[in-house]
Amino acid sequence: MDNEVHEAELEIRNSDGLHMRPAMRFVDIANGFECDIAVSNGETSVDGKSIMQVTMLAATFGTKLKVRAEGAGARAAVDALRELVEDKHFDEPTPKQ
Amino acid sequence: MKLVDFVCFEATIPELQRNDRDGVIAELVSSLDRAGKLGKGNCEEITAAVVSRENEASTGMGKGVAMPHVKHEAVKDVVAAIGQSSAGIDFLALDKEPVYSVILIISPVDNPDKHLQVMEAVFKHLQQAKFRKFLRMCSDSEQIHDLLIEADEDPSL
């Protein structure tokens, strides 16, 4: 159970991208899980639990981020992050709205 | 993106007068205005917008640094000002510790991607303990200018 690993690609769907407030919500959810969470934009991989590092990804609208969770609750963590990023798009406007 | 591309060095305040969050924001906004960076923007109105953004969620990210920011039509391009406080500012930071270095950023309303690139450039350095320490040690505007130039050349700083 401790070796649980789960990965997913999440697409940024809100127009303003992953700026500081969305990044805070991301980090809040990530910190609710015991597993390690790494987030990568293809060039840089950062700690998904650090607000400075997540904001540093500069993920604009349409960016695809790879999220990799390892440890207890990995699948639930990735599912929760997918809901925030893709389903709720951080409760921010998308370009179509 | 480089720090020198958007930081206005004429607006640097090496020793802030105020030690409260809103007062410091007002000082830095006025400094950008005096440097001619805010066009026809009204200082009080821009200060209020930054404070309002700050009330939504603190940009005092911990470790003695804060990055208050707002998107405002007064600017056509991103502009930033740095202020330092040796006494420490009560910035309602996430770690509840005082803030010693403040980077105020005003971004245009219609360029979210540029705003993200600026955030990336700032956090790349602010998350390095060495950079935070050197920034805090700077006692005048020239030293801050030199540090930022050095940081732009050295990704490990």
Which residues of chain B neighbour A15 with C-beta distances below 8 Å? 112
- A52 in contact with chain B, both atoms CB, cutoff 8 A: yes
What CATH number is attached to the domain comprising A78? 3.30.1340.10
**Cα–Cα distances in angstroms (integers) from residue B46 to residues B39, B116, B150, in the given order:** 12, 20, 31
Q: How far is B26 from chain A (nearest CA, A)?
A: 21
Q: Residue A3: pLDDT above 90?
A: no
Asked if B119's CB is within 8 angstroms of A60's CB, the reply is: no
Q: pTM value?
A: 0.90
**Residue A96 belongs to a domain:** no
pLDDT attached to residue B156: 87
Asked if B123's CB is within 8 angstroms of A56's CB, the reply is: yes
Q: Residue A1: pLDDT above 70?
A: no
Q: What positions of A carry a catalytic annotation?
A: 19
**Residue A24 belongs to a domain:** yes
Q: What is the mean pLDDT of residues A17-36?
A: 96
Can you list the residues of chain B whose pLDDT is less than 70? none
CB pairs under 8 A between A and B: 47
Asked if B119's CB is within 8 angstroms of A58's CB, the reply is: yes
> In terms of C-beta density within 10 A (0-12 exposed, 13-18 middle, 19 or more buried), how is residue B39 classed?
exposed
C-alpha dihedral sign at B12, B16, B17, B19: positive
Q: In the CATH scheme, what is the code of domain B3-153?
A: 3.40.930.10
pLDDT attached to residue A2: 61
Q: What is the mean pLDDT of residues A27-51?
A: 96
Asked if A17's CB is within 8 angstroms of B127's CB, the reply is: no
**Residue A33 belongs to a domain:** yes
What mean pLDDT, rounded, does chain A reach?
94
> In terms of C-beta density within 10 A (0-12 exposed, 13-18 middle, 19 or more buried), how is residue A33 classed?
buried
- The conformational region for residue B39 under phi > 0 = left, psi -120 to 50 = alpha, else beta, is left
3-state secondary structure (DSSP) of residue B124: helix
Q: How many CA atoms lie within 13 A of B64 on its CB side?
A: 18
**Residue A9 belongs to a domain:** yes
> In terms of C-beta density within 10 A (0-12 exposed, 13-18 middle, 19 or more buried), how is residue A18 classed?
buried
The 3-state secondary structure of chain A, one letter per residue: CCCCEEEEEEECCCCCCCCHHHHHHHHHHHHCCCCEEEEECCCCEEECCCHHHHHHCCCCCCCEEEEEEECCCHHHHHHHHHHHHHHCHHHCCCCCC
Which residues of chain B neighbour A21 with C-beta distances below 8 Å? 56-57
Q: Where is B46: in which H helix or E strand? A: helix B43-56
B89/B21 Cα distance (integer angstroms): 7
Domain count, chain A: 1
Q: How far is B32 from chain A (nearest CA, A)?
A: 22
Sequence letter at residue B35: A
ipTM for the assembly: 0.81
Q: Residue A50: pLDDT above 80?
A: yes
**Residue A30 belongs to a domain:** yes
Most A CBs within 10 A among B65, B116, B117, B131, hence the mutation to make, goes to B116
Return the residue of B nearest to A52 by Cα.
B123
In the numeric block, which tokens belong to residue B100? 């010693």
Sequence letter at residue B45: E
Asked if B116's CB is within 8 angstroms of A59's CB, the reply is: yes
Residue A27 is part of which domain span? 5-90
